[in-house]
Amino acid sequence: MIEEVKVTKSIIKNAVDELLDNLDVDVVICGGGPAGLTAGRYLAQDGIKTVLFERKLSVGGGMWGGGMMFPKIVVQSEAKGILDDFNISYENDEGNLVSSSIEAVSKLTAGCWDAGCKIFNSISVEDVVIREKSVGGVVINWTSVETSGLHVDPVAVKSKAVVEATGHPLEVCSIVEKKTGKLNTTTGKIIGEKSMWAEKAESVVVENTKEVYPCLYVCGMAANAVYGAPRMGPVFGGMLMSGKKAAEIISAELKQKQS
Ligand code: 48H
């Protein structure tokens, strides 16, 4: 029998239990765009306890809209293995792979979830936890608190590593730059995203995927923005490969620390 208060209790109890289970984890991913979702899948698949916080109701970031709202994305052939891992279909169009942005977001999300990465939506990362000279977690609040401008203190989540995957605004790096004054860039500061040059942007995004501050790893569009590289328009292979690389370096780092 469906009884309203029972429904209410089921929802609140299960949601709170899930959040409580994910307050002390191996990795926190900030942002559920293509890079964050890809990182989440490969980390969780490797047995690493991973949680992803997404500001909006829906994950997927800038992928839903394809290019100028034509719901197609281009993925270069180097990233074909990742499309295959997520069972995302594609057409080969003059050497580039073309997929539906709707199918791609849905399957990246399902792949991330099925691998065991916990995804929490409507939660914004508004700060980081700092221990000595490294990042030790994130500070979160409901997005609705942020958007309504309420003065409500946030809460903290502990993790061994944090992934900055907030895309163009690189919110986590901005906070760390402001509060610690030193990132692992040539200037110690955010260098800033450059104008479009797809070929160059895609060739450097994987290289720019690295530890930008102790225990803080940057991937996706944020990686090019922090290291002063160009944007690439609706080409998404670099986002997928960057997310995968972030997972690989963090996984190797955590295993080394454990041994
Ligand atoms: C929680 C947050 C916060 C926060 C933001 O923008 P995204 O899609 O980022 P990527 O790097 O996975 O992919 C970039 C790609 O979509 C893109 O924009 C490209 C390729 N542009 C090229 C061009 O030339 O323009 O996703 C970031 C996600 C979003 O869903 C945000 O809502 C979320 O992060 N987010 N989540 N806490 N503080 N800030």
State what percent of residues in the chain have pLDDT above 90. Answer: 97
Does any ligand 1 atom lie closer than 6 A to the CB of residue 193?
no
Does any ligand 1 atom lie closer than 6 A to the CB of residue 167?
yes
pLDDT at 54 over 90: yes
CATH code for the domain of 75? 3.50.50.60
Nearest to 193 by CA among 171, 166, 226, 170: 226
For residue 168, the one-letter residue type is: H
Nearest to 137 by CA among 33, 251, 29, 37: 29
pLDDT at 258 over 90: no
Does any ligand 1 atom lie closer than 6 A to the CB of residue 32?
yes
Does any ligand 1 atom lie closer than 6 A to the CB of residue 201?
no
Query: pTM of the entire structure?
Result: 0.98
Separation of CA 233 and ligand 1 centre (Å): 13
Residue 34 lies in a domain: yes
Contact in structure between 73 and 90 (CB atoms under 8 Å): no
Nearest Cα residue to atom 18 of ligand 1: 62
Residue 226 lies in a domain: yes
- Distance, CA of 2 to CA of 157 (rounded, Å): 35
Task: Give me the pLDDT at residue 181, please.
Answer: 84
pLDDT digits (tens, 9 = 90+) for 110-140: 999 999 999 999 999 999 999 888 999 999 9
Does any ligand 1 atom lie closer than 6 A to the CB of residue 34?
yes
pLDDT digits (tens, 9 = 90+) for 174-188: 999 999 989 999 999
Task: Over range 46-56, report the average pLDDT.
Answer: 98
Task: Give me the pLDDT at residue 25, please.
Answer: 98
Task: Give me the pLDDT at residue 92, please.
Answer: 97
Residue 13 lies in a domain: no
DSSP letters, 19-76, are HHTTSEEEEEEE--SHHHHHHHHHHHHTT--EEEE-SSSS--GGGTTTBTTBSEEEE-
Residue 18 lies in a domain: no
Residue 229 lies in a domain: yes
Task: Give me the pLDDT at residue 222, please.
Answer: 98
**In ligand 1, which atom is closest to the CA atom of 223?**
11
DSSP letters, 180-218, are H---SSSSSS---PBSP-HHHHHHHHTTT-EEEETTEEE
Nearest to 28 by CA among 174, 128, 169, 111: 128
Mutation pick for ligand 1 pocket among 69, 75, 168 (CB with most ligand atoms within 8 Å): 168
Q: Residue 157 — pLDDT band, cuts 50, 70, 90?
A: very high
Strand 155-164 and strand 216-218: pairing?
parallel
Task: Over range 36-43, report the average pLDDT.
Answer: 99
Domain that holds residue 254: 26-47+56-121+134-258
Q: Give the other-Cβ count within 10 Å of 72's Cβ.
A: 16
pLDDT digits (tens, 9 = 90+) for 198-240: 999 999 999 999 999 999 999 999 999 999 999 999 999 999 9
Mutation pick for ligand 1 pocket among 120, 221, 242 (CB with most ligand atoms within 8 Å): 221
pLDDT digits (tens, 9 = 90+) for 7-30: 999 999 999 999 999 999 999 999
- What are the backbone dihedrals phi and psi of residue 135, each rounded to the nearest 5 degrees, phi first? -80, 135
Task: Give me the pLDDT at residue 259, please.
Answer: 85
Does any ligand 1 atom lie closer than 6 A to the CB of residue 196?
yes
Residue 15 lies in a domain: no
Helix (H, G, I), strand (E, B) or coil at 102: helix
Residue 239 lies in a domain: yes
Q: Report how many helices (DSSP H) and strands (DSSP E) the chain contains, helices first.
A: 9, 11
Distances (CA, A) of 64 to 77, 78, 87, 102: 21, 22, 17, 6
- Which 8-state DSSP code applies to residue 122? S
pLDDT digits (tens, 9 = 90+) for 65-105: 999 999 999 999 999 999 999 999 999 999 999 999 999 99
Task: Give me the pLDDT at residue 198, please.
Answer: 97
User: Number of folded domains in the chain?
Assistant: 1
Does any ligand 1 atom lie closer than 6 A to the CB of residue 200?
no
Residue 17 lies in a domain: no
Task: Give me the pLDDT at residue 13, please.
Answer: 98
